[in-house]
Amino acid sequence: MLVQYSAYLQFPGGGPASNYAVGIWLHASNRRALLFTDQTGSQSASNPLITDEDGLASFWAAPGNYEAIIGGERFHTPVDESFTDPTWPGLWIHVQESPSQIWTINHHFGIEPKVDVLVSDEVSQASVTHTDDETTVITFGSPTAGKAHLRR
């Protein structure tokens, strides 16, 4: 049985890996993984694969542990047979266009994510709390607009 994996990938500095060739390797190995374009495995996918303009990588593979190499850094990429739907993307980008002192983000990760807050495209400090495994609240001293990158 093949399982679909889809995730938004980023460079170690935080920018999306847009239109980037990403090698998918067997975990702790020097062997490239066998990737497919569909669940039947009738057509092989290229490896390295090319992400789209938003950094989305998507492929079908046998369940197991894989690694994606981006900008020289390895990222653990599990493909789990217990998932019946495509893997939820590992990155949620919240855009706060209108300034607000409190940003409430419903990300639906099911865990408390790592959060990077960007104001004017610069990393910024803010109070980050997780009201539950699906919701993150970011609080500023004054109304602020910007982005928050949440990662599994």
Residue 133: pLDDT over 70: yes
Strands 135-151 and 114-119: antiparallel
What does the pLDDT average to over 125-151?
93
Residue 132: pLDDT over 50: yes
* DSSP structure class, residue 45: P
pLDDT digits (tens, 9 = 90+) for 75-109: 776 666 554 444 445 677 788 999 999 999 987 67
Triad 137, 70, 148: Cα angle to 5°: 15
The number of angstroms, rounded, from the C-alpha of 14 to the middle of its chain's C-alpha atoms is: 11
The number of angstroms, rounded, from the C-alpha of 20 to the middle of its chain's C-alpha atoms is: 14
Positions of E strands within 16-86: 21-26, 49-50, 56-61, 64-70, 73-79
Question: What are the residue ranges spanned by the domains of the chain?
Answer: 3-79, 91-151
Q: What is the residue whose two structure tokens read 């975990």? A: 27
Task: Output the six-digit token pair for 66.
Answer: 């894989």
pLDDT digits (tens, 9 = 90+) for 31-53: 999 999 998 999 999 999 999 88
Q: How many whole angstroms separate alpha carbon 33 and alpha carbon 47?
A: 8
What does the pLDDT average to over 60-79?
79
Supply the CATH classification number for the domain 3-79: 2.60.40
The size of the chain, in residues, is 152
Cα–Cα nearest to 89, from 1, 145, 146, 7: 7
